[in-house]
Structure 1
């Protein structure tokens, strides 16, 4: 199957999180989840906690038609988002990125559950998933390595309208299945 026929906005449910397509009316809830400056310390745009910086980012995510809102199932609150995209250096592949979570959900299993749901969906179609991480984002590098993705190379890529340097991580379906089993 090609990236064009892949469902990049599924609804996916796990024990603690629900992922569903991002909607226009999610702006206020997502801004609330993004308001702590520490959330963006490892990201390329460090002042994204400011509404005037976050709103264009939200518009970009919404326009992609491939962003999933992350909902805490216990509280019903919007706690972040993530998206699928076609990697510019692998046009027949799929990548997961543009992920952020409310800082109150760091350090637990929320990111792992989010990625397990997204990876399970992607691996039903693709043999590998790519992740592009800013070289200064040590937290994301460690989190991505935790679930088995490997740093393959660095590249200058345009992921959001501007060329930047990215660390390119790859996770093969076979490695994922060895680590987490068939269901992911």
Structure 2
């Protein structure tokens, strides 16, 4: 179902598979520990970035690097993971943007590219998202793109600094996709 060489792009962004040689360049974006408060890993060191990337390099998820086509610089990462071909579903996640790229509509463009591929090309039945129940910014972003809140799994995931996260799930279904596109002017 998933082509691990897949590239997605629009006029301004390129999403291409993460490669090992990308990691040192991403350190310019990841060095602030505060970025990782709601993330499962603190990517502020090269060692932690390498460990976090391991599932991508083992093809357990398709981790994209997000590149600004105007200047060729990386802006962050996102991924397709938890793929179930039988169930025609996957998760979009593992998303982060460098501080300079947050709040500029980039995440919305990224989600549009990914969701269009999921529903229009792969013809999936369901796309899932999950985040920390405390991450209000991520929750609002998911609601803004039309994802439906489904529920909370308590003490679900170990976070940085040994905190246990309550994880909130969202989804978009195939039957909702045309509405999501229309409401977001996609």
- Alignment TM-score > 0.5, same fold: yes
Aligned: 1:37 with 2:43: no
Q: Classify 1:50/1:13 alpha carbon distance in 2 versus 1 (closer, same or farther; 3 Å).
A: same
Aligned: 1:102 with 2:103: no
**Equivalent pair of 1:153/1:168 in contact (CA under 8 Å):** yes
The normalised TM-score by structure 2 is 0.81
CA distance in 2, matches of 1:118, 1:8: 14
CA distance in 2, matches of 1:164, 1:62: 26
CA distance in 1, matches of 2:143, 2:5: 25
- Identify the structure with the greater strand proportion: 2
The normalised TM-score by structure 1 is 0.82
Gaps of 5+ in 2: 159-163
CA distance in 1, matches of 2:40, 2:130: 12
Pick 1 or 2: higher relative contact order, CA cutoff 8 A, min separation 6: 1
**Equivalent pair of 1:149/1:169 in contact (CA under 8 Å):** yes
What secondary structure sits across from 1:44 in the alignment?
A: coil
Aligned residues: 175
What secondary structure sits across from 2:79 in the alignment?
A: strand
CA shift, 1:52, in A, is 3.0
Which segment is superposed worse, 129-138 or 35-44?
Answer: 35-44
The 5 Å alignment of 1:1-184 reads: 5-7=1-3, 9-45=5-41, 47-63=42-58, 64-86=60-82, 92-124=88-120, 125-155=123-153, 165-181=166-182, 184=186
CA distance in 2, matches of 1:77, 1:133: 26
Gaps of 5+ in 1: none
CA shift, 1:9, in A, is 4.6
Q: Flag as ranges the 4+ runs of structure 1 deviating above 6 A.
A: none
CA distance in 1, matches of 2:11, 2:53: 26
